Structure 1
Amino acid sequence: FNDRLHVSDKPLKAKRGVAIRLGWDFGLTPACIVTQLTPRGQLRILREFIAERMGVEQFTRDVVKPQLRALYPEWTLEWDEDQAEWEQITGWGDPAGVAASDTDEKTCFSILRDEGLDITPTRTNAPIARIGAVESFLVRMVDGEPALLLDPSCKTLRKGFNGGYQLRKMQVAGEERFTEKPDKNRFSHPHDALQYVALGHLGNPGNNESKDKPKSRRAHGYKAV
């Protein structure tokens, strides 16, 4: 990640004719990332929505939906077969969200459906696949611009890219080795959400790794500690 390259010098406007896709991470620190993938393959990260100590239902109802309606009035949250596909906001989320809570039968995805959002689980939540999806955009250029472009309003994602989102260093002698799993902190939830939507944009590939084996690694844009 190069801050000067990957952060837009002006606010990014949603491109008409291009679908808006959301990435979701759940739990009591939920995050939702708003993106577009242009026909030429540039991943534009438009907004980040983050909350603390808030369930997914309240987060969706009180934060995400009002903001989406205010910021993107030409797109819709509700499915309508008479509308073009690009006009309908959909997305992907952490597949762990298919599990029902201990108190009722609802899952995170069923809650989102009840709120009118069409969000589906990615096929994997393996860190190596998720991080690799974002890296695939970070290392490319599209028509002279970076294949990943971040709106300057996304301050938590930006700080995460600049070192806040960190891979854990293994306590072993010799060559530095890092786990594939990041430290859990305030940067990890929005970055996880970004990784899920990046996976979705790439066709939602499955996990080809039998195990997430720790190995020597210094990922592009992800710092190790």
Structure 2
Amino acid sequence: MNVQDAMTNKVVSVKPETTVGEIAALLVNHRISAVPVVSEDNRIIGIVSQTDRGHRSETGTERKRKWWLAIFDDAEVQAREYLKSHGLRAGDVMTRHVITVTPTMGLSEVAETLDTHHIRQVPVVDDGKLVGMISRADLVRKLAEASITASAARPQNGQLQKAVWAAIKSQPWLNSAILSTSVLDGAVEIYGAVNSDAERQALRVLIENVPGVRRVENRVGILPRSAA
């Protein structure tokens, strides 16, 4: 599953000359946290987020540095902050370095990108042009859809038993010789022993992730340290 399977195609975007008041209304009315700024040929040139709108002179929330810190500030930095808090158009207040993803990127990479940069959503670009947006909410929606699909296509007991054992044997930290399972209508019971509680919990998660598993009864014990 990749970005084009989960992204929002109808994107709310603005032009560099869009006013900050209009941008604020778009963010509120569409319940979004950011809008991309695009050129006439739909190429992304910046983005305006709630963070960019969070420090404004109109609301008295612009950044106010202590005078002794301001002495050491670079003049260019101070000018940029003034532009952010007093600028009247998107072109003035937008963040010009925009993190983007492509339509063919995997969803795991998108999740990593959002976490790394501490952002809620990211523009999707194809050959430099804006084609969509993907957010944390989109990832959660695809997760829900995948769970529903997996439940609807639950395999037979024998097939599920084979899939569970294939998962167990794929992990080098598990000793399958002292484990056994029972499968019935998507419910899996695990018996045997492992070396630690971490292994016990990881084994449960491993089986929960096997497509078709509905419930896991973990009856696995923990070996004494001497036996381990």
> Quick check: which one's helix share is greater?
2
Q: TM-score range by the shorter chain?
A: under 0.3
TM-score by length of 2: 0.21
TM-score by length of 1: 0.21
